[in-house]
């Protein structure tokens, strides 16, 4: 993916220099405003399905970069997940829990409560955390060296109180 895209972690800038007074944090409203206006404009331009695919693709890139730059891939799986959980809370992304883990087949069910993308949204009747699907797949791919597919099966926007993701390797 590094061959395909130009993104580099340093592109995120030096916040200590650039925001000495305001610091690293912003509001969830500002984050969601960007995400959902982006999705709306892209959907009108290229169709909703394609826009969603691109959100997943961007999430995948973000997950891989996040894993490379923030997480420790030398840890055992359980320690890696514990570290991921801590980082996602520290960054106020959400509260991760591993609900099911099949280490032989590398199939997992994860939940994320108080999710940054969707918690508290109106109920649209469809899941909206496409970016998160890619983000989780990117982290798992970077950690295991295998490609993953991630499907959000429950979401605040479908009327559930937590997001639930099914994670499994892409066969072949």
Residues that bind Zn ion (CB under 5 A): 118, 129, 155, 163
* Residue least distant from Zn ion (Cβ): 155
**How far is C-alpha 2 from the geometric centre of its chain's CA atoms?**
18
Going through the chain in order, the beta strands assigned E by DSSP cover 95-102, 107-113, 148-154, 163-169
Reduced to 3 states (helix: H, G, I; strand: E, B; else coil), residue 119 is coil
Reduced to 3 states (helix: H, G, I; strand: E, B; else coil), residue 29 is helix
Tokens for 104? 């032989």
Query: Residue 56 CB, nearest distance to Zn ion (Å)?
Result: 13
Measured from the CB atom, the residue of 140 and 165 that comes closer to Zn ion is: 165
Q: What is the C-alpha to C-alpha distance for residues 160 and 123, in angstroms, rounded to an integer?
A: 9
Query: Residue 128 CB, nearest distance to Zn ion (Å)?
Result: 6
Query: Residue 106 CB, nearest distance to Zn ion (Å)?
Result: 22
Measured from the CB atom, the residue of 15 and 123 that comes closer to Zn ion is: 123
Measured from the CB atom, the residue of 81 and 112 that comes closer to Zn ion is: 112
Answer yes or no: are the C-beta atoms of 168 and 142 closer than 8 Å. no
Query: Residue 71 CB, nearest distance to Zn ion (Å)?
Result: 22
Tokens for 154? 């429950």
Measured from the CB atom, the residue of 110 and 155 that comes closer to Zn ion is: 155
Determine the length of the chain: 172
For residue 154, the cross-strand partners are 164
Query: Residue 95 CB, nearest distance to Zn ion (Å)?
Result: 13
């Amino acid at each position: 993916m590094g061959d395909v895209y130009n993104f580099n972690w340093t592109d995120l800038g030096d916040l200590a220099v650039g925001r000495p007074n305001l610091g690293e944090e912003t509001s969830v409203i500002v984050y969601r405003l960007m995400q959902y206006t982006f999705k709306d404009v892209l959907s009108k331009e290229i169709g909703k399905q394609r826009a969603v695919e691109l959100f997943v693709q961007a999430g995948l890139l973000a997950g891989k970069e996040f894993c490379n730059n923030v997480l420790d891939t030398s840890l055992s799986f359980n320690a890696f997940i514990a570290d991921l959980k801590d980082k996602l809370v520290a960054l106020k992304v959400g509260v991760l829990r591993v609900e099911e883990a099949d280490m032989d087949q590398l199939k997992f069910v994860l939940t994320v409560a108080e999710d940054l993308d969707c918690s508290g949204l109106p109920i649209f009747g469809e899941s909206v955390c496409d970016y998160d699907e890619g983000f989780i797949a990117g982290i798992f791919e970077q950690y295991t060296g295998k490609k993953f597919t991630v499907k959000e099966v429950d979401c605040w926007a479908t009327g559930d109180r937590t997001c639930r993701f099914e994670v499994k390797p892409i066969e072949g």
